[in-house]
């Protein structure tokens, strides 16, 4: 495509940005739809988002931003309004320009994750789930699993207070859900979910021991690149069905695209 003075801008803000799939996915879609738009990656280190946001918000041809780690919580005070999921989770992964020039944000990681599971043929309703990781993405995923009708949810995080706080919030919001903070023991769960960044970098340890995985279990990861993480490889070796981070990424991209007003997104 030819970039002109009329080309609209969208992008993703995070650190690191080199492994991200979003620029290629969005730009391929813009080309297919014949849109005069381009999607770029902005590498903004942790702690520097407020300074960067001042500049980004002054770009009048910038229509929307996907927000990735480490900024999904830090962006909250920079926005003028939040959608319902962003309010519940205290996290945002997509922000769009308002007609008045301000910005509003919403969180789609959780529903994108659930969508990926269900498109792979693994409905959540009535199941028992172990989720490791209760950060920004983990909070959104846990809320989405609860809304989808999960029966039991065990949460684990390296910061126990984070898991316990999320468990209390879920108990209050979803009275029919059995939810506790517990050990990362995969035994007895239908789904085992990695909602941590472990697997993103070469040499990362597994988020939990894979020795107790059984073929009847479904193992899902949030890491989109590499798609086959060490966890996914270990789960497949154990005979488990797997859902990779690509499924979540594509699911949240569909929802984010609709939020950003991109008409015609397939999938």
**Which two structure tokens, joined as six digits, stand for 104?**
């509003």
**Contact residues for 1 (Cβ-Cβ < 8 A; gap 6+):** 30, 31, 36, 38
Beta carbons within 8 Å of 220's beta carbon, 6+ residues apart: 113, 116, 117, 191, 192, 193, 194, 242, 243, 244, 247, 248
Q: How are strands ordered across the β-sheet holding 218-221?
A: 178-181, 152-156, 128-132, 191-194, 218-221, 241-243
In terms of Cα–Cα distance, which of 5, 77, 67, 72 is closest to 42? 67
- Dihedral sign of CA atoms 39, 40, 46, 48 in order: negative
Residue 235 among the catalytic residues? no
Sequential DSSP letters for 22-87: HHHHHHHHHHHHT-SEEEEEEE--TT-HHHHHHHHTT-TTEEEEEE-TT-TTTTGGG-SEE-HHHH
The residue from 13, 44, 72, 156 that is catalytic is 72
The residues pairing with 9 across neighbouring beta strands, listed in sequence order, are 38, 62
Active-site positions? 72
């Amino acid at each position: 495509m030819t970039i002109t003075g009329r080309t609209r801008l969208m992008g993703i803000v995070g650190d690191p940005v080199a492994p991200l799939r979003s620029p290629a996915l969005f730009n391929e879609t813009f080309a297919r739809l014949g849109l005069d738009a381009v999607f770029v990656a902005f590498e903004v280190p942790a702690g520097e988002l407020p300074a960067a946001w001042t500049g980004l918000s002054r770009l009048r041809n910038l229509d929307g931003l996907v927000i990735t780690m480490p900024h999904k919580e830090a962006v909250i005070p920079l926005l003028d309004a939040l959608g319902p999921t962003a309010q519940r989770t205290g996290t945002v992964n997509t922000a769009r320009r308002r007609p008045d020039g301000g910005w509003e944000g919403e969180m789609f990681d959780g529903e994108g994750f659930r969508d990926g599971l269900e498109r792979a043929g693994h409905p959540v309703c009535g199941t028992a789930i172990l989720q490791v990781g209760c950060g920004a993405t983990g909070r959104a995923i846990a809320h989405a699993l609860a809304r989808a009708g999960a029966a039991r949810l065990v949460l684990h995080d390296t910061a126990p207070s984070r898991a316990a706080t999320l468990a209390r919030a879920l108990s209050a919001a979803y009275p029919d859900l059995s939810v506790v903070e517990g050990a990362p023991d995969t035994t007895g769960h239908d789904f085992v979910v990695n909602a941590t960044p472990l697997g993103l970098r070469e040499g990362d340890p597994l988020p939990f021991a894979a020795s107790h995985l059984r073929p009847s279990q479904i193992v899902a990861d949030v890491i989109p690149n590499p798609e086959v993480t060490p966890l996914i490889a270990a789960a497949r070796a154990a005979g488990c069905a797997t859902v990779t981070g690509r499924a979540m990424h594509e699911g949240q991209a569909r929802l984010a695209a609709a939020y950003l007003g991109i008409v015609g997104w397939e999938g």
